[in-house]
Structure 1
Amino acid sequence: MALKIVRTSLLLVGGTLIFVIGILMGSTLFGIKEQQFIIYPLVSENVIVDETSQPPKKQMSTSYSSTHTKSQLWSMYLADENYYRIAGLLPCRTVEYTGGPKPHIMDSCDQSIIDEFSVEATIHAQKWIYEHQNPENIKFNHRLLYHRFKLLVDFVKSSSQSYLYGNCKFGTPDCLFLPISNCSIPYKEDGNRTIDIRANIDHWIKPIHPPIFQNRSFNWFRSQLLFYLMRYNPTTLTRVQHKIAEYFHPPSVNVHRPYVAVFVRRSDKVSTQEMAQAFSLEQYFNLFDADAHRANITNVYINSEDENVFNEFNQLNKNKNGYYKLMSINTTRNVNFASLVASSVGQRARIILEFLTDLYIEANADLHVGTLTSNWCRLVDEMKLALGKRIPYYTPENRFIIDM
């Protein structure tokens, strides 16, 4: 899975950049509106989905309530009492994220970190982002500031990128995710409604925060942007749940908690020396094994592009007297950028669905382990931070990287 959601970074960085659409003018242009939020429930497992169906033009909008704050947001499970219980059992850990505008030190027991990466902070941020990306009266908001970023515009308009979305006829992120905004994006740059900010690799060196989030860390802010961008639309969510139901019994990830998610990255990351070495599965397990025993966690979800990892698990678990119960789904292995592009439309659609299913399962895990030189692992880390899960990632590289 060399590219994992086909270079998740391309979709996410491009999406993140155009997402900042309207966010700069933030609190100065809009007042707080009536509390409305797109929060849709888990789709019934027996729903039959047409593979070519369009994402709904109008999502289910429900009144914001405390019920949602304690369970799900955008169909992802938020940190709950069971998660906090586990976090309280584990020793404090301090990690330093690098690669952003400045190093970000996180102490899992520091109250300021606990407050920043909390469910309440995420709910507030996602509500604010949604409201400002979906103004009630677009017609009279002529000064809503859009930022058109060349990377995503080219990315969406280029037919060569259609492999990302399989057989979806739109060939845009709306095939998979909820729309970023209810406003259309004018393509003519006028310096007023539309401003062109070059989307290149060093954009995040000097990130632009809306005033309301000015005092938040870059790590938190980037996590919130990505979390908003990666909201599965109902069609995607249904397909993901069907995929999970094939392999999980009972068919909901939440009933298998607590569990550890392990992503083993090898192949091209090693050959291109982005990773210093290919780590054995045992090296990953050694990072969290004591904590798993301390918190009485026996379920482990393993994901990797390398099929040999599962043979390694069988031997490793024998040495541990069968302590762990394996969770996995049958996916296409040994996928890289070149092989994905060369595959058929049907194969691409299936692989992308597998990627999104993996993401759903890994983001909902209680503990996470992987290598943060991997774009995929950074995505999972950001998703779980947005969900209020502050237990630091376990990584054999001992490097905590914020993608630039």
Structure 2
Amino acid sequence: MDKDEPWHRFSAPALFTQALLQYTSVPLTPTAIKYWWRGQATAYILRLNTNSLAKIRQLRRDSSLHHGFTIGKNSNGLENVAVPFPLPAHSFSMHVRHGDKSSEMRLIPFREYVEEAEWFAKQNPNSFHKSAFLSSEDPSVFEEAKNITSVTFDYGLTSPNENWVWYMSKIKRMNSGPIQQLNAFGSRHETTISWLLQLFISLECDGYVGTLNSNWNRLIDELRCVWVDKCMHPYLEVGDVVDWSNYHW
């Protein structure tokens, strides 16, 4: 990304910068301040009205709209799992950005998300479990999840639980860009609400796996620090550095 581009000259407003620095124990860099400010501004701009929030809550509480499964320990077949509200503690959020994003970055295979999360869970078995809320525009990701029970690199590490538990919503999906999806799915209002529902469910999680070159993953990363008190929770980056560097702009 060219550092001479106009957005690299942007900075957080002085008033907010001064307020932030009153509560920090170290002198923050300008880019760190800008990263913080983007989250604050995003959370403010994205405030939803009462009707939208009520609709999202209604959809979240409708158990028929959500589905979970795991691999049975004895049967080796799929076992349905209820999707509680909120999601169980120690769960990960995994948003797998595919679709038209290949024009901007290497599309990260779903398995790489799972490897990153499982490695972290095995290092922290008291803090994280092998359970995740899965979101993506790519239907094949959800089919692949049916065949991923664990990732083999034990090295003597303790697995918190045997097989992955996957949670997801039953929404329309098409492996393309958002505009193409909006045009194909009919009601733009209902489609947008269903996407925001995915965002809210992601914020129920305790760990986050994604890439900051995805604007949706950036939304999750920003809003977890403002809308919910999860800024100190781990975010695991799976993207190539060359794709998400200068993410503070």
**TM-score, structure 2 normalization:** 0.70
Q: Is 2:239 aligned against 1:397?
A: yes
Equivalent residue for 1:171? none
CA positional deviation for 1:292: 2.0
Q: Which runs of 5+ in 1 are unaligned?
A: 1-97, 102-200
Q: 1:284·1:370 contact (CA, 8 Å) conserved in 2?
A: yes
Equivalent residue for 2:76? none
Equivalent residue for 1:381? 221
Which of the residues 105, 114, 124 maps onto 1:285? Answer: 114
Distance across 2 between alignment mates of 1:350 and 1:210 = 39
Which of the residues 222, 228, 232 maps onto 2:44? Answer: 228
CA positional deviation for 1:342: 2.9
Give the direction of change, closer, same or farther, for the CA distance of 1:379–1:210 in structure 2 (3 Å limit): same
CA positional deviation for 1:376: 0.8
Q: Is 2:148 aligned against 1:316?
A: yes
Q: 1:99·1:403 contact (CA, 8 Å) conserved in 2?
A: no
Equivalent residue for 1:356? 196
Distance across 1 between alignment mates of 2:220 and 2:3 = 17
Equivalent residue for 2:137? 305
Q: Look up the SS of the partner of 2:211 in the other structure.
A: coil
Q: 2:213·2:247 contact (CA, 8 Å) conserved in 1?
A: no
Distance across 1 between alignment mates of 2:16 and 2:192 = 35
Equivalent residue for 2:15? 211
Q: 2:91·2:206 contact (CA, 8 Å) conserved in 1?
A: yes
Q: 2:150·2:164 contact (CA, 8 Å) conserved in 1?
A: no
Q: Look up the SS of the partner of 2:55 in the other structure.
A: helix
Equivalent residue for 1:237? 53
State the Cα deviation string for residues 375-398 of structure 1 (Å, max 9, x = none). 111111111233442334212224
Q: Look up the SS of the partner of 1:257 in the other structure.
A: coil
Q: Is 2:183 aligned against 1:342?
A: yes
Q: Is 2:87 aligned against 1:268?
A: no
Q: Which amino acid aligns with 2:9?
A: I
Q: Look up the SS of the partner of 1:303 in the other structure.
A: strand
CA positional deviation for 1:343: 4.2
Distance across 2 between alignment mates of 1:252 and 1:241 = 10
Q: Which amino acid aligns with 2:247?
A: I
Q: 1:261·1:365 contact (CA, 8 Å) conserved in 2?
A: yes
State the Cα deviation string for residues 10-66 of structure 1 (Å, max 9, x = none). xxxxxxxxxxxxxxxxxxxxxxxxxxxxxxxxxxxxxxxxxxxxxxxxxxxxxxxxx
Distance across 2 between alignment mates of 1:258 and 1:308 = 26
1:179-198 equivalences under 5 Å are none
Distance across 1 between alignment mates of 2:240 and 2:54 = 36
CA positional deviation for 1:341: 5.0
State the Cα deviation string for residues 262-321 of structure 1 (Å, max 9, x = none). 011112111x1x112x22221111112132232242321000111111121111116678
Q: Which amino acid aligns with 1:288?
A: A
Q: Which has the larger radius of gyration?
A: 1
1:98-177 equivalences under 5 Å are none
Q: Which amino acid aligns with 1:402?
A: Y
CA positional deviation for 1:210: 3.6
Equivalent residue for 1:258? 90
**TM-score, structure 1 normalization:** 0.45
Give the direction of change, closer, same or farther, for the CA distance of 1:380–1:296 in structure 2 (3 Å limit): closer
1:40-55 equivalences under 5 Å are none
CA positional deviation for 1:231: 2.3
Distance across 1 between alignment mates of 2:200 and 2:247 = 21
Q: Which amino acid aligns with 2:204?
A: N
State the Cα deviation string for residues 144-170 of structure 1 (Å, max 9, x = none). xxxxxxxxxxxxxxxxxxxxxxxxxxx
CA positional deviation for 1:338: 3.8
Q: Look up the SS of the partner of 2:236 in the other structure.
A: coil
Q: 1:244·1:329 contact (CA, 8 Å) conserved in 2?
A: no
Q: Is 2:137 aligned against 1:333?
A: no
CA positional deviation for 1:337: 3.8
Q: 1:300·1:325 contact (CA, 8 Å) conserved in 2?
A: yes
1:83-94 equivalences under 5 Å are none
Q: Which amino acid aligns with 2:37?
A: F
Q: 1:100·1:218 contact (CA, 8 Å) conserved in 2?
A: no
